[in-house]
Chain A
C-alpha cells in the first residue's frame, strides 16, 4: 500500500510540475490527465475506491476532455507556443516560486509538529457507505449541487453563444 502511495504521489507531483511549466497547452493537458490519474491511484491506495473511480470518470474523463475540446476549438498552433516561450522567463516565475515554496515550507513545518502518526488506509470506505451518507444527512447538499450545475449550464450556454 505504502509503495503504491509513494510511487503514485511522485508521479502526481512530477506530472503536475510538467503541466504548469509546459509551453504547449495540449502537452500541459495530457500531463494534467496523468497527474489526475495518479491522484486517483492515491485514492485507491488510501482506501477510497469510489472517490478514485469518480476521479477517473469525472475529472480525467469529463472535465479534461472539455479542456481538450476547447483547445481544439481555439486552434492555437505554433504562434501560441512562441508567445508562451516569450512570457515564461525565469524573471517571471522566480518570484512566485519563492513565495509558493515559503508557504509550502511553513505547511510542512506545521505538519511535522503534528503529535501522533495516525494511520490511513486501514479499512475501505466503499460506494455503499458513501451513497448512504450522500442521500441521508447530506441530501440538501446534493440538491444545492444540482442547482449549482443548472446555473453553470445556463451560464455556459449564455456565454458560449456565437452572436
Chain B
C-alpha cells in the first residue's frame, strides 16, 4: 500500500540538481544583471527543494525549517539586489554587468 504513495528520494534530488544546473547556466551565460539575480533565485530554490525532500525522507520538520530560512535569505537577497539594479540602471543607463566593473564610492 505504501508502495503506491511513495517515490524515491533520488527523483527529488535529481530534479533539484537539474534546476541548480540550469540556474548555474543562467548565471554563467547571461550578461543582464536582472537575469543573473533570477538565476540566483533558481539556484536557491533548488537547494531548498533538496532540503525539503531530505526532511520528507526522514519524517522530520527540519527540512522545512531550513526551507523557511532559505526563503528569508532569498527575500533579503532579492531586495538588496534589486535596489542595486535600480542604482546601476540610474547611474550607467544599462543593465550590463560589465558597466559596474569599476566600483568606487
Contact of A120 among B12, B38, B71 (CB under 8 A): B12
On whether the beta carbons of A159 and B87 are closer than 8 Å, the reply is: yes
- Provided the pairs A42-B49, A120-B56 are in contact, do residues A70 and B82 lie with their beta carbons within 8 angstroms? yes
On whether the beta carbons of A29 and B38 are closer than 8 Å, the reply is: yes
Q: Number of B interface residues, CB 8 Å?
A: 71
CB distance from A135 to the nearest CB of B (A): 10
User: Inside 8 A of B87's CB, which chain A residues have their CB?
Assistant: 159-160
**How many angstroms between the C-alpha atoms of A141 and B59 in the bound complex?**
21
The majority secondary structure among interface residues of chain B is helix
CB distance from A106 to the nearest CB of B (A): 10
- Provided the pairs A48-B52, A120-B56, A160-B86 are in contact, do residues A63 and B67 lie with their beta carbons within 8 angstroms? no
On whether the beta carbons of A20 and B80 are closer than 8 Å, the reply is: no
On whether the beta carbons of B31 and A87 are closer than 8 Å, the reply is: yes
CB distance from A4 to the nearest CB of B (A): 10
**How many angstroms between the C-alpha atoms of A99 and B28 in the bound complex?**
10
Name B's A-contacting residues (CB within 8 A): 2, 4-15, 17-19, 21-26, 28-32, 34-35, 37-39, 41-42, 45, 48-49, 52-53, 55-57, 59-65, 67-69, 71-80, 82-87, 89-90, 95
- What are 27 residue pairs bridging A and B, where the CB atoms are less than 8 Å apart in the complex? A1-B7, A6-B11, A9-B11, A16-B19, A17-B22, A19-B26, A20-B29, A42-B12, A58-B71, A63-B41, A63-B78, A66-B82, A74-B34, A100-B24, A104-B17, A111-B14, A112-B10, A118-B8, A119-B8, A120-B9, A125-B55, A125-B61, A125-B63, A134-B65, A138-B65, A152-B80, A160-B86
Name A's B-contacting residues (CB within 8 A): 1-2, 5-6, 9, 12-13, 16-17, 19-20, 25, 28-29, 32, 35-36, 39, 42-43, 45-48, 50-51, 54, 58-59, 62-63, 66-67, 70-71, 73-74, 76, 80, 84, 87-88, 92-93, 95-97, 99-101, 103-104, 107-108, 111-112, 114, 117-123, 125, 129-130, 132-134, 138, 141, 145, 148-149, 151-153, 155-156, 159-160, 162
